[in-house]
A = this chain, B = another copy of it.
Amino acid sequence: MLPDHLPDHSVGVVTSQTVTIEQPLKLACGVVLPTHELVYETYGELNGERNNAVLICHALSGDHHAAGYYETEDRPGWWDHYIGPGKPIDTNHFFVVCLNNIGSCFGSTGPMSINAETGEPWGASFPSLRARDWVESQKLLMEYLSIECWAAVIGGSLGGMQAMRWSLEHPNKLLNAVVIASSMKLTAQNIAFNEIARRAIKSDPDFCNGSYLQEQKAPLRGLALARMIGHVTYLSDELMGQKFGRELRIGDLVDRNADPVEFQVESYLNYQGDKFSDSFDANSYILITKMLDYFDLSREYDNDPVAAFKQARCNFLVMSFSSDWRFAPQRSREITDALLAAGKSVSYVEIESDKGHDAFLLPNDRYEQALKNYLARVAQQLTGDAR
């Protein structure tokens, strides 16, 4: 249920909208989606010049509900701390758009949707996706909303990859790219964790080779394991130490005691895994982790990120978090170095945090301030106030 009193600076009660994009979308793999559905939300007002729109790009498990409250829920959207009137992504100035991307499982066309050609859910046969496919789908939504140019495209993790891809594919369609806790490509270790997660899902007999919906089953055990693996890598060792240490939830470890023992961290992780597997689709998880693995910013630029970023015309804000070992600060420094070498305008901020990769979703004063300052300047420039 909606809280009795909404907090200050909230965008308030929001509703999502659904649009059927009627233009064909040709995917990088060659498959064409003749039409596709997108679920999205907007916060703030589009101004008369239609130049104050900001696109929020979600990561692996994200959705279109980035801010505000639904009538039926007591928890706000996943980035509510950063989006709202007076917040860093300030809805007094910006018209904020966040969509659920194709291939995901919160209403937009994806593996759970019916494939019109077969009358069955797509399931594991949903076409392979790349980050650029999300960008092209987002561009069709942009056209539907009659937006000519984003004031900024903003995202963390896989969201940052989309922001970078926007800057190369449609350099005239955005003024700023905000790339948070991201990378130009995954490391072998990143890919390894993703592959273990996928294998966990596929090993579950209820996966049924991806046709579990038709079989009225769901690989809940496999998906829970996949999430547990991901979750550990999103947290830092320090944070887990502070949060759980070696505290026991059940039993004790004195001698002469054969009763079961459970550490708090075990209970927490098992809970996180189970919760996630009730809300996410296993085929989407496989599809989107592969999208992460396949992303390589400069593959088609002869593996030269400087050549790649020479395509860009926007300004960049790059941010990273000290304890993020999934997408370490070094990855963001590489982005920054390539942008500088390509002669682009880039601000780089490395934030002290013990919260690991998850830090990009969580409150942090310096992160908040840096994002706010950067976007305040963007807002000023839109109204011609900048000097």
Contact = CB atoms under 8 A, between A and B. Distances in A.
Interface of A: 28-31, 127-128, 185-189, 191-193, 195-196, 199-200, 203-205, 221-222, 224-225, 228-229, 232, 235, 237, 240-241, 243-246, 253, 255-258, 261, 263, 265-266, 269-270, 273, 290, 293-294, 296, 299-300, 325
A188 B243 CA distance: 9
Contacts of A245: 188
Contact of A265 (B188, B244, B270): B188
B263 A191 contact: yes
B246 A127 contact: no
Given A128-B258, A240-B192, A296 B253 contact: yes
Nearest to A195: B266
A223 to B, nearest CB: 11
Contacts of A237: 187-189, 325
Contacts of A270: 195, 199
A261 B198 CA distance: 14
Contacts of A258: 29-31, 127-128
Contacts of A299: 253
9 contacts: A29-B257, A128-B258, A186-B246, A191-B265, A192-B265, A196-B229, A253-B294, A261-B290, A263-B293
Given A255-B28, A258-B29, A269 B192 contact: yes
Contacts of A256: 28-30
A130 to B, nearest CB: 8
Contact of A221 (B127, B203, B261, B300): B203
Contacts of A188: 237, 240-241, 243-246, 263, 265
A113 to B, nearest CB: 18
Contacts of A191: 246, 263, 265-266
The 5 closest A-B pairs by CB, nearest first: A188-B240, A29-B258, A203-B221, A195-B266, A188-B244
User: Which has the most chain B C-beta neighbours within 10 Å: A192, A195, A228, A273?
Assistant: A192
Nearest to A242: B188
Given A31-B258, A204-B203, A225 B196 contact: yes
A273 B192 CA distance: 12
User: Which has the most chain B C-beta neighbours within 10 Å: A243, A265, A290?
Assistant: A265
A206 to B, nearest CB: 9
